């Protein structure tokens, strides 16, 4: 595996791959890799060669109350995981490489980024969109892979790519879960043993809503109430938001339709966890529910 640290070096490698007619696949990460990230790498390897994985802890997406310095950075462990998967290239730039001292330009996606995660973390999606656009310009991938766990982020990146006529296709891959249902996340490392047990309430709340949908419940108010009821039963859980939204617009829905998401952010032991569930209407009626 080749490890690249500079923008110019990465651009040269990408230009050479594309000149050879190869399909460049890209998995952007902030490191602290887990099976969710690795599933994106495997998906990329099925369609692309070379596959580039970036590790860059992006300061622009951290708010003033979020401790950037405490974000885990196990770079040698991450490198070993990527080498085991035979990843072609690791792009690991320094902060000053991405954001030089005279940096002034930021990207905002209107409408989609000012609710839910955007409301709870002002400026977060501006930082995400900015660094993703920069990385796309540097790596020049034909395909880029994101996980559905961060559904709002994936939707915003897809909108940005469409609005700016980028050559990169956004591929959104399924959530990867632990055996007890907890969605894999780098934030899970912050949970102590007791809170780790409490954290399964997110999956249990979504599963309770799924059971109601499979029992023909279509009213979003009833489904949200059921999720909140389950969350309330766990003393260690503090919901930030729980909502049923249109998967395209992220506007709240009153009745299930077309494609929806049940989205939630819940604090457990001070750790803010995200999860969601995809609800798709089948032709001829009925809904498919994917956790």
Q: Residue 290, SS3? A: strand
Determine if residue 285 is left, alpha or beta; phi over 0 gives left, psi from -120 to 50 gives alpha, anything else beta.
left
Closest CA to 160 of 124, 143, 136, 141: 136
Asked if omega into 261 is within 30° of 0 (cis), the reply is no
Looking at the annotation, which residues are catalytic? 37
Residue 224: φ, ψ to 5°: -65, -40
Dihedrals phi, psi of 154, to nearest 5 degrees: -60, -40
Whole-number Å distance between alpha carbons of 64 and 62: 7
Question: Which residues pair with residue 109 across a beta bridge?
Answer: none
């Amino acid at each position: 595996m080749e490890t690249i640290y500079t923008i110019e070096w990465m651009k040269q490698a990408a230009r050479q791959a594309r000149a050879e007619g190869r399909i460049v696949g890209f998995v952007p990460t902030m490191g602290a890799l887990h099976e969710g990230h690795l599933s994106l790498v495997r998906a990329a390897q099925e369609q692309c060669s070379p596959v580039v994985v970036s590790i860059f802890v992006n300061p622009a997406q951290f708010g003033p109350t979020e401790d950037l310095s405490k974000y885990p950075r196990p770079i040698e462990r991450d490198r070993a995981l990527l080498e085991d998967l035979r990843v072609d290239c690791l792009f690991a730039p320094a902060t000053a490489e991405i954001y030089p001292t005279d940096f002034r330009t930021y990207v905002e996606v209107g409408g989609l980024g000012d609710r839910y995660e955007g409301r709870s973390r002002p400026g977060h999606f501006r930082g995400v969109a900015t660094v993703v656009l920069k990385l796309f310009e540097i790596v020049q991938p034909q395909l880029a892979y994101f996980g559905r766990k961060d559904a709002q982020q994936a939707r915003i990146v897809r909108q940005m790519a469409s609005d700016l006529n980028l050559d990169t296709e956004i591929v959104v891959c399924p959530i990867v879960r632990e055996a007890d249902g907890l969605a894999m996340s780098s934030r899970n490392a912050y949970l102590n043993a007791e809170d780790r047990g409490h954290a399964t309430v997110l999956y249990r709340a979504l599963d309770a809503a799924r059971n109601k949908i499979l029992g023909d419940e279509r009213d979003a108010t009833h489904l949200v109430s059921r999720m909140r009821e389950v969350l309330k039963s766990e003393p260690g859980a503090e919901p930030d938001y729980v909502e049923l939204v249109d998967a395209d617009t992220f506007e709240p829905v009153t009745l299930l339709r077309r494609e929806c998401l049940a989205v939630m952010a819940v604090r457990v032991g001070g750790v803010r966890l995200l999860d969601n569930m995809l609800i798709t209407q089948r032709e001829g009626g009925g809904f498919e529910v994917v956790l």
